């Protein structure tokens, strides 16, 4: 894992956008794995700004999102379909036919999950996977205890995850109890992984990410076994790591 230290959330977002833009420039038909939530929002804003200023084209880009809530319609304002349209897809020139998210309303969820993995494989796999990290170490919605061999699947959300996402809903009771998520094995097949972390609330889990053994009790630790993982974190998120440690992980 390579660590890049950012001053704050804004610089983290700018640096993350640069990594994604480098990927697009190197391969104009890249397959991007995308994430949602507050951590990555600034990255999308930077990509939109670049698109408007530099006319970077997404016409040949394909995207696969990590996850979607189970039971929410695509039109629900809290669905990840709606998030992606509002915060990225509608602002760049990517054809909607090339953007893929799990269908949280699928009647046959097992078939939906299998088809999702097959679509990714059919396009040659994900070139760059964007990730956040949960305070409990989840990536995607792969909660602690998730199998490292898991592919796209239906998962029950931990109460801590539902509480963390409750700010987007009127009440925690409205937060779905289940989600469809790409599995850890699916994520690990990505050619490059870009993980972002910002804020003091992520400092403890980021410390664990670098110091813990690889264990499915902290799912993100599996990224230590990935051959090309970049972590961009701001100073608050890195506040539990000593300066010398940061320098060592930055090599």
Indicate the pLDDT class of residue 160, thresholds 50, 70 and 90.
confident
For the stretch 95-143, pLDDT in tens is 999 999 999 999 999 999 999 999 999 999 999 999 999 999 999 999 9
Residue corresponding to tokens 């990290």? 133
Q: Is the pLDDT of residue 54 over 90?
A: yes
Residues 10, 18, 115, 136: which is the catalytic one? 136
Q: What is the pLDDT of residue 63?
A: 99
Q: What is the pLDDT of residue 246?
A: 85
Element (H, E) at 181: strand 178-181
CA dihedral 18, 233, 187, 249 (to 10 degrees): 100
Indicate the pLDDT class of residue 243, thresholds 50, 70 and 90.
confident
The DSSP-derived string for 45-83 is HHHHHHHHHH----TT-EEEESEEETT--TTSTTSHHHH
211 is catalytic: no
Token representation of residue 221: 């630790």
Buried b (16+ CB within 10 A) or exposed e, 197-219: bbbeebbebbbbbbeeeeebebb
Q: For the whole model, what pTM was predicted?
A: 0.95
74 near 39, Cβ under 8 Å?
no
Q: What is the pLDDT of residue 43?
A: 99
**How large a percentage of the chain has pLDDT more than 90?**
92
Which has the minimum average pLDDT: 98-102, 133-137, 161-165, 205-209? 161-165
8 is catalytic: no
Q: What is the pLDDT of residue 249?
A: 81
Q: What is the pLDDT of residue 143?
A: 92
Domain that holds residue 193: 2-249
CA dihedral 60, 63, 188, 39 (to 10 degrees): 120
Q: What is the pLDDT of residue 251?
A: 61
143 is catalytic: yes
Across 47-61, average pLDDT: 98
Q: What is the pLDDT of residue 15?
A: 99
165 is catalytic: no
**How large a percentage of the chain has pLDDT more than 70?**
100
For the stretch 1-22, pLDDT in tens is 999 999 999 999 999 999 999 9
Compute the distance between CA of residue 238 and CA of residue 223 in angstroms, rounded to an integer.
17
Residues 138, 165, 208, 234: which is the catalytic one? 138
Q: Is the pLDDT of residue 49 over 90?
A: yes
Residues 117, 127, 143, 234: which is the catalytic one? 143
Q: How many domains does the chain have?
A: 1
Residues 67, 68, 112, 208: which is the catalytic one? 67
Helix (H, G, I), strand (E, B) or coil at 145: coil
The closest of 10, 131, 2, 146 to 67, measured between CA atoms, is 131
- In this predicted model, which residue has the larger pLDDT, 219 or 249? 219
Q: Is the pLDDT of residue 248 over 90?
A: no
> What's 131's domain CATH number?
3.40.50.1360
């Amino acid at each position: 894992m390579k660590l890049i230290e950012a001053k704050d959330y804004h610089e983290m977002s700018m640096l993350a956008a640069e990594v994604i833009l480098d990927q697009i420039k190197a391969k104009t038909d890249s397959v991007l794995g995308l994430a949602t939530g507050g951590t990555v929002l600034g990255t999308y804003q930077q990509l939109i700004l670049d698109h408007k200023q530099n006319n970077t084209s997404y016409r040949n880009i394909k995207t696969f999102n990590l996850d979607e809530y189970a039971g929410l319609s695509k039109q629900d304002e809290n669905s990840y379909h709606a998030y992606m349209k509002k915060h990225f897809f509608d602002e760049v020139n990517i054809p909607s036919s090339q953007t893929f998210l799990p269908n949280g309303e699928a009647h046959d969820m097992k078939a939906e999950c299998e088809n999702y993995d097959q679509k990714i494989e059919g396009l040659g796999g994900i070139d760059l996977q964007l990730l956040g990290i949960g305070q409990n170490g989840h990536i995607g919605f792969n909660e602690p205890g998730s199998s490292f061999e898991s592919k796209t699947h239906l998962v029950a959300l931990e109460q801590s995850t539902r509480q963390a996402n409750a700010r987007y809903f009127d009440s925690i009771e409205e937060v779905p109890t289940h989600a469809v998520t790409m599995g850890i094995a699916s994520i690990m097949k990505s050619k490059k992984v870009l993980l972002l972390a910002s804020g003091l609330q992520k400092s403890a889990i980021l410390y664990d990410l670098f110091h813990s053994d690889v264990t499915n009790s902290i799912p993100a630790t599996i990224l230590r076994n990935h051959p090309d993982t970049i972590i961009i974190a701001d100073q608050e998120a890195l506040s539990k790591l000593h300066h010398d440690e940061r320098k060592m992980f930055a090599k």
